[in-house]
Amino acid sequence: MRKLPSFFSLRAFEAAARLQSFALAGEELHLSPSAISHQIRSLETYFGKSLFTRSFRRVEPTADGLRLLSRLSAAFDLMEQACHELSPPQQSRALAVHCSPSFATKWLGPRLPLFMQQYPDLNISMSSSADAMDLLRHEELDITIAYGAVQTRSGIITEAIGTETIAPLCAPALMQGRARLTLEQIAALTLIHSSLNPVRWSDWFALQGMSLQPGRPMPSFDRASLALSAAVNGVGVALESTRLAQREIAAGELCVLQDAELVPVQRETHFLSYRATERNNAKIACFRDWIFSQAEEEDIPT
């Protein structure tokens, strides 16, 4: 007979240590925080030592707790994989992806037919909003693709989808037949403000060694896709990711105002996230690998 403490107490401990919260562990296991606490105290009694340091707002595993967590997480992953291998095959697998709006419409959407051809047994469902979605609270989602700064969280694996070039973009008509625009000529044009872009016009001009007049009026848009559309329609110059403008650049609808005399701006701005417990999930792994293969192969004309 194996000498093991209660499986339920081990499961409660693993969830609480991974999430660093009795409340979140309770939500995941459909138990109250007090029930989680009771299971963990039972486990601490069994081992005769504390497994957590407790504070008012959070709990953290002790050194002994971290050692136990590393072994339990590996064991639970193996158990999950073993059960998955014995599960009856399904004709269709669902993959729920939540994505930032502009990335969904400008980059991911045009590539989805390729993914569907490559993985016809995966039934992908897409949702979109600018709000960050917590995968530990939204169990109906498998993967999120967020825009902005990376958000690290215990229990979530987050990876940047490559590095993007953020450059001034304008319609060819604004070039007035010129092969290039000087920094002063760019500054004289209407500058389109993309409110969610982490790189501001003032940042870009400062990087080029030029100060931008403070308080200068700029038409503002809260989506990169809207800012790019305004630039295509000749409203002014948008400071946006060339990744999101690939189609417009290739079609000659937008010019990239970036040359050897201007300092390029490169940032990691889009991040793919999934639950750490599902790192070995086949449908998540294939979508993750496909996304990164697409990012590596992209060819952005200038």
d(C-alpha 143, C-alpha 245), whole Å: 24
3-class DSSP assignment, residue 145: strand
33-47, 89-103, 280-294: which has the minimum mean pLDDT?
89-103
CATH of residue 16's domain is 1.10.10.10
252 in the same domain as 188: yes
Chain mean pLDDT for the chain? 89
- Predicted confidence at residue 92, as pLDDT, reads 47
Domain boundary among 86, 118, 145: 86
Write the CA distances from 135 to 49, 156, 227, integer angstroms: 32, 8, 29
The number of distinct structural domains making up the chain is 3
In the predicted structure, residue 46 carries a pLDDT above the cut 80:
yes
d(C-alpha 271, C-alpha 149), whole Å: 8
Please give the model's pTM, rounded to 2 decimal places: 0.67
d(C-alpha 33, C-alpha 23), whole Å: 5
Residues 76-94 have a mean pLDDT of 74
What band does 80 get if pLDDT is binned at 50, 70 and 90? confident
Tens of pLDDT along 127-180? 998 888 889 889 899 999 999 877 778 899 999 999 999 999 999 999 998 988
- Helices 7-19, 63-86: inter-axial angle, 10-degree rounding: 110
145 in the same domain as 21: no
Residues 118-133 have a mean pLDDT of 89
253 in the same domain as 119: no
The answer to whether residues 151 and 176 touch, using CB atoms and an 8 Å cutoff, is no
Q: In percent, how much of the chain has pLDDT > 90?
A: 64
In the predicted structure, residue 91 carries a pLDDT above the cut 50:
no
Chain CA centroid to CA 76, Å: 26
Phi, psi of 151, rounded to the nearest 5 degrees: -110, 105
Give the strand pairing for 93-99 and 143-147: parallel
108 in the same domain as 34: no
Residues 198-206 have a mean pLDDT of 92
Assigned domain for 205 exists: yes
CATH of residue 292's domain is 3.40.190.10
Tens of pLDDT along 274-291? 999 998 899 999 999 999
What's the CA dihedral at 60, 66, 70, 76 to 10 degrees?
-50
Domain range for 188: 164-266
- Predicted confidence at residue 3, as pLDDT, reads 82
Domain boundary among 86, 117, 137: 86
d(C-alpha 168, C-alpha 175), whole Å: 12
